[in-house]
Amino acid sequence: MVDIKKVTKLLSEVVDPSRVSDKDFDLIPYSRDLSPAKQKLPSHVVIPETREEIQGIIRIANDEDVPVYVRGGGTSHWDAYLAQEPGIMLDMSKMNKIMEINERDLVATVQPNCTWAKLDRELRKHGLTYLCSEAGGPAMTVGGSIMKAGSGPHSTAKFGFHGNQDVVTLEMVLPNGDVVQTGSAAWPSAGKFERQCLGPDLAGMFIGAEGILGICTELSIRIRPTTDIQERLMATMPTLDSVIEFGHFINRHVGDEYLQGIYLWVDPTAPEVFTLMMDIFGYEEEIVNHRREKLIAKVKELGGELGDRAPADDYFGHILTGLTDLFVTGVWHFFGAGTLRIDDIKFMYDVWKTELIEKRGYTKAGFGGQILPRRWLAFMVTNYREPEEWEELVKMAHGIDEIILDGPVVPYGIGGRDGLRDIVASRDTGYYRLLKTLKKTLDPKNILQRGIFIPEEELL
């Protein structure tokens, strides 16, 4: 049991009392995320402003055996930061500064809760940009995107998941309160320019771990010159096989892909219609025009039809400027999601069509996919308005998740007990056993994100 008043008093000695609360009316806004996960109420919310305050909070958590949950921008779709049991909700919102823009090394250093919009506005004053953005839009935080290894579709056809290649250094507070720098920042006299240093790529250990191994307090990422050339295409492909062949075509030249973003959408009311929205990348107009002509020729060769580019402009434009109408149709839920080889997207599509639409008669979930270098991130997505729809939706989605993850699919977004946690744990792979060993070693009291990614009983 958490001694609420004692912990409140201790936290107020580390952080200004105005940034600490144990009151229900302050806690309730932190009890839900964007997923259908059940409401989970923390016992405290605390808003740190510095690395040192986070270290102090971690010391209290260890001394009092109180779990700490880390909330960035609050846009999780996976039950990935909700308090799985009463504990301290660490609201990182005030750690949002841009620390440095190094125009010569093309590196930007920010605190984790700097949003993509804030960073991009500042970068563009220098003729620079990061170039990527997630489907959640510019309000998403840089640290949140990278700690969960998020993805576009804007620019991910060329650059992959956030963290795949663009993270240069991380600053992490470990579960025991120690601070570790990764990459060249680990060698104090070197500076921030190199991902690896002194051996293993430690940044890779934290990226995608959903905060269970450490709290990010600063990070440096690779930035690029801006390009004002915008060229987009919209096409309808005749078969999924033609989509697969097109996927191979656009990024066969790994590192020199024809596109920076491509989004596949299949509506449940027309499961044989495959729509592609494309965003072409290039710094010179001649290159962009060359790629455009190649793409058009390939679409036609595969039997596709080109359409008005306006929907593609609208889609990619909204990703970069804000999805203000996202919840007009109800609460969104992504499920049956994961990464897989280009050829294997047919497996996931068949599950969507046969298991969801034909067998279960559920015709509200669409099928989507984003190309990454040599692979897809694919998913099913639906929404609901009424509370009574929740139980049916969660049960249905969990059943589909189990089928999908028995196939050639790497799960995307694990989260807590209302996410994919139990399915992942049931596989008991060598990878999962090693992750548990790392967790036990770095966090023997299981303070950070207790119940996220790894069930507590798995760590006993």
Secondary structure, 3-state, 31-56: CCCCCCCCCCCCCEEECCCCHHHHHH
Q: What is the CATH number of the domain that holds 66?
A: 3.30.43.10
Cα–Cα distance between 201 and 330 in angstroms, integer? Answer: 41
Structure token pair of residue 192? 């921030």
Residue 195 confidence (pLDDT) above 90: yes
Q: Check whether residue 55 and residue 149 sit in a common domain.
A: no
**Among the three residues 210, 225, 240, which one is the final residue of a domain in this structure?**
225
- Whether 128 maps to a domain, the answer reads yes
**Average pLDDT value for residue range 214-225:** 96
- At 391, the pLDDT band (50, 70, 90 cuts) reads confident
Same domain assignment for residues 396 and 456: no
- Nearest of 173, 177, 196, 174 to residue 185 by alpha carbon: 196
Q: Please state which of the ranges 37-46, 143-152, 284-293, 443-452 shows the lowest mean pLDDT.
A: 143-152
Alpha helices in 150-255 (DSSP H): 156-159, 202-206, 240-250
Comparing CA positions, the residue from 272, 221, 206 lying closest to residue 109 is 221
d(CA 327, CA 308): 26
* 8 Å CB contact between 114 and 142: yes
Q: Is the pLDDT of residue 452 over 80?
A: yes
**Within this chain, do residues 180 and 254 fall inside the same structural domain, yes or no?**
no
H or E segment to which residue 222 belongs = strand 215-222
Give the separation between CA 368 and CA 9, rounded to whole angstroms.
48
Supply the pLDDT for residue 78.
83
* pLDDT tens string 65-98: 999 999 998 878 889 899 999 999 999 999 999 9
Indicate whether 249 and 397 sit together in one domain: yes
Average of pLDDT values for 277-298? 94
- The stretch 20-39 carries a mean pLDDT of 93
- Non-local (6+) Cβ contacts of 290 within 8 A are none
Q: Identify whether residues 104 and 202 lie together within a single domain.
A: yes
Tell whether 417 is covered by a domain. Answer: no
Residues 123/199, Cβ–Cβ less than 8 Å: no
Percent of the chain predicted with pLDDT > 90: 74
Percent helix, percent strand, percent coil in the chain, to nearest 5: 35, 25, 45
Looking at residue 316, its pLDDT comes to 84
* Confidence check: pLDDT of 36 > 90: no
Q: Residue 137's pLDDT band (boundaries 50, 70, 90)?
A: low
- pLDDT in the model for residue 155: 81
Place of tokens 């060769």: 301
Task: Give the pair of three-digit tokens for residue 238.
Answer: 């005749």
Q: Name the burial class of residue 105, with classes exposed (0-12), middle (13-18) and buried (19+) by CB atoms within 10 angstroms of its CB.
A: middle
Position 101: which residue type? I
Q: What is the average per-residue pLDDT within 373-384?
A: 92
Asked whether residue 207 falls in the same domain as residue 330, the answer is no
Average pLDDT of the residues in 140-165: 85
Domain range for 212 is: 98-225
List pLDDT tens digits, range 352-372.
999 999 999 999 999 999 999
Q: Count the domains in the chain.
A: 3
Length of the chain: 460
Question: Is 220 within a domain?
Answer: yes
Same domain, 407 and 443: no
293 plus 318 within the same structural domain: yes
Are residues 14 and 29 located together in one domain of the fold?
yes
Q: Is 413 left (phi over 0), alpha (psi -120 to 50) or beta?
A: left
C-alpha distance from residue 238 to each of 244, 297, 301 (Å)? 11, 15, 11
In a domain? residue 418:
no
Integer Cα distance of 34 and 144 in angstroms: 14
Query: Do 198 and 238 fall into the same domain?
Result: no
Q: Are 207 and 195 in contact (CB under 8 A)?
A: no
Mean pLDDT of 135-160: 83
With a cut of 80, say whether residue 236 has pLDDT above it. Answer: yes
Nearest by Cα to 443 from 84, 57, 148, 65: 65
Residues 153 and 236 grouped into a single domain:
no
Q: pLDDT band at 255, cuts 50/70/90?
A: confident
- Cα 175 to Cα 67, 77, 86, 198, 438: the distances in Å are 10, 25, 18, 22, 11
Q: pLDDT digits over 404-428, tens only?
A: 999 999 998 899 999 999 999 998 8
Q: What is the pLDDT of residue 34?
A: 82
Domain boundary among 158, 193, 225: 225
Q: For residue 416, is it within any domain? A: no
**Tokens representing residue 272 in the block:** 């044989």
